[in-house]
Chain A
Amino acid sequence: MTSATRSSVIGTLVILTVPVVLALVISEALGIRVVDRIATIFCINLVLVLGLQVFMGNSGILSFAHVGFMGIGAYASAVLSMPLQMKGMALPELYPIVKAIEISPYLGMVVGGLVAAGVAAAVSYPLMRLSDAAAVITSFALLVVLHTIMVHWHQMTNGPRTLFGVQSATTLYIAAGVAILMIFIALIFRESRTGILLRAARDDEVAAGAIGTNISNMRWRGFVLSAFMAGIGGALWAHFITSFSPNAFYLKETFVILGMLVIGGAGTVSGAVLGAFVVTAAFELLRLIENSINLSGVLPTQLVGLTEIALACAMIGILIVRPSGIISAREVAFPDALRRYLPGTHFTRPKQSRSADEGGTQ
């Protein structure tokens, strides 16, 4: 990494931590539970979206399997960190070896990420040869396989039923800290050798192959890192929500995470951050409205699904207007962002523009 890229990465990192810090500060200043909750959810979502961005943004391949890895991380961390006396009640059929283990939830989060990455590393290598529709369908198939296993492996996951008694460990500070760390990792990966080659392969597979890129291998690295981040995100989520069932890690969650990334812009880390911020805020606000309408009993029936409908419309709308999201190709950068707001100057970027970035992949 050249010193110029390094300074621009640091500049971007500084800007991108602003929403996270903002969420933290607002929550501390107000001291309202709901705000704290939303801020924490934002940070967790951010970790998940960044995980997806690392693979999807750099390789240009739509992946559905991501939420499956989130589930792996969540279950691994939840089960390993569960207090010994709880295990007998929550998971009566648990294997004796696992039953004897109790680790700290923070260690559990790391282990959750590692387990997810391990599974991804083991199963995904052959899948990385595929691109376009075949890649999408296999990742979809992988999600279904992972979900089916989660639903039926009742020794580890309590089957389709809710798993209770997960330790509550995710505070806003921890979630925010992890989120900032993940922003850093995603930015570094983007500018790393692997990240650059991966993006080269995304823009032109043949040309990238011609300069000697081992495309499958680069994709695989991105995928494993992405699964690691998803696993940690899942573990954070598990220790925040404390009781969940396999259905939490299926198409609905996939849709939300994918929606955030797509609206923000999959090609950039900035897009992922922006998307997570905007969508979480809108989503939680709509959900609050939905819940208060339901509680007040103004309507004869319960409102369900309004939030998802709004998100779906926003996604379709954004994609029609800007197919590669709000921030499509260029990361927000420190000096530009400042200079752009000066009156009367139309700052043009001296660097060569990467026009291929704009159109997505073909």
Chain B
Amino acid sequence: MSQLLQFTIDTLSLGSLYALMALGLVIVYGILRLVNFAYGELIMVAGYTLYLLSASPVPWLFMAFTAVLMSIFAGIATERVAFRPVREKSVTAVLITSFAFSTLLQNAALLFISPRARVVPLPDVFSQTVEIAGAVVPLRNILTILCAVLLLAGFALLLKKTVLGIALRAAASQFRMARMLGVPANLVISVAFAISGFFAGIVAIFWLGRIGSVLPGIGLGPLLVAFIATVIGGMRSLLGAVVGGYLLAFIDVSLAHLLPSNLLQFRDAFTFTLVIFILLWRPDGLVRGPATGQRT
């Protein structure tokens, strides 16, 4: 019983993180039909902000707030540098500029900070554990789940009830038509990137809470996770991204329990092969998004 509870909480907390990662990626993809390869670097930016602030006397919550803010800022910067100038020219060009921007940020961290891992400050809450019905659970896992539920609910509300949300959804389903009806394209895209950065910042806090340190290549893991989750769930559907995130966490945690250790190291190869198969079987993912028109 306690093992089952442990398994459930592990899956849910990892799934919450994965879902947030995927959501951050898919909010941009949904509108622009373009993959943002620099997404992982937003997480890195938040991580280094925490590290740089670790020497200052400000309370941790303020550091975390600044980190998320920086991540949002980096998201908007990505749009300005890598997307806006080439958006209307060529799909391949945008994919490459975002890849280039990702390399740029990574190497900037390498150059200006350090190639080695840096410890980030974390509050005590992150290292405490609680015991629920015989299962010892790190408190941060519970926090991750709670935070994700709150954010997902808030985000759903934003999308359903506010003008901004309606504009975002309109842009995601028929970008050109939405523009004709007076939705300002650049603003909506910037907002999408800001939201993407916001999710990346939140993910960074909890992701770093798990690993404890930040290094220039830290973004790759979350980027890959977000890729897999969105592909499994559906590239064009926000709900799909969330479903994909939880499903991927379920697969990951199950594989970690089930696979013998000599095969466990190939887990990435297994999951990515799964991605290829899912894309072949259902190129739109498991949850189909709204019908779409052309990009731009």
Contacts and interface: CB of A to CB of B under 8 A. Distances in A.
Interface string B190-203: 00000000000000
Interface string A336-356: 000000000000000000000
Given A134-B283, A145-B273, A62 B96 contact: yes
Interface string B83-94: 001100111110
A316 B283 contact: no
A195 B76 CA distance: 40
Given A316-B81, A320-B85, A152 B265 contact: yes
A309 B108 contact: yes
B275 A141 contact: yes
Contacts of B227: 137, 140-141
A127 B92 contact: no
A362 B34 CA distance: 12
A308 B102 CA distance: 11
B82 interface: yes
Contacts of B34: 133
A63 B91 CA distance: 13
Nearest to A306: B111
Interface string A254-296: 0100110010001000000000000000000000000000000
B111 A304 contact: yes
B63 to A, nearest CB: 25
A362 B91 contact: yes
A132 B280 CA distance: 14
Contact of B279 (A137, A311, A315): A137
A258 B107 contact: no
Contact of B90 (A127, A251, A309, A361): A361
Nearest to A154: B265
A62 B272 contact: no
A130 interface: yes
A316 B110 CA distance: 19
Most interface-central of A62, A305, A311 (chain B CB within 10 A): A305
B283 A130 contact: yes
A323 B89 contact: yes
B189 interface: no
B231 interface: yes
Contacts of A37: none
Secondary structure call for the B interface: helix
B6 to A, nearest CB: 28
B103 A360 contact: no
Contacts of B220: 251
Most interface-central of B81, B93, B106, B266 (chain A CB within 10 A): B93
A316 B82 contact: yes
B176 interface: no
Nearest to A132: B91
Contacts of B163: none
Contacts of B82: 316
Secondary structure call for the A interface: helix
A127 B283 CA distance: 11
Given A60-B92, A312-B100, A361-B90, A305 B279 contact: no
A134 B279 contact: yes
Contact of A262 (B96, B228, B231, B275): B96
Most interface-central of B33, B99, B275 (chain A CB within 10 A): B99
Nearest to A135: B279
A144 B224 CA distance: 9
Contacts of A306: 107, 111
Given A148-B272, A304-B110, A361-B92, A137 B35 contact: yes
A312 B272 CA distance: 27
A362 B90 CA distance: 7
Nearest to A304: B110
A65 to B, nearest CB: 11
B33 A316 contact: no
Contacts of B269: 144-145, 148-149, 152
A255 B91 contact: no
Nearest to A136: B95
A52 to B, nearest CB: 12
Given A130-B283, A149-B269, A315-B97, A323 B224 contact: no
A128 to B, nearest CB: 11
B18 interface: no
Contacts of B103: 251, 255, 308-309, 311-312
Interface of B: 29, 33-35, 81-82, 85-86, 89-93, 95-97, 99-101, 103-104, 106-108, 110-111, 115, 220, 224, 227-228, 231, 235, 265-266, 268-269, 272-273, 275-276, 279-280, 283
Interface of A: 60, 62, 126-127, 129-130, 132-134, 136-138, 140-142, 144-145, 148-149, 152, 251, 255, 258-259, 262, 266, 303-306, 308-309, 311-313, 315-316, 319-320, 323-324, 359-362
25 contacts: A130-B283, A132-B33, A133-B34, A137-B231, A137-B279, A138-B275, A141-B227, A142-B272, A144-B272, A148-B266, A148-B268, A148-B269, A258-B99, A262-B93, A305-B106, A308-B104, A309-B103, A309-B104, A309-B108, A315-B96, A316-B81, A316-B82, A319-B96, A360-B92, A361-B90
The 4 residue pairs across chains A and B that have the minimum distance between CB atoms? A360-B90, A305-B107, A305-B110, A323-B89
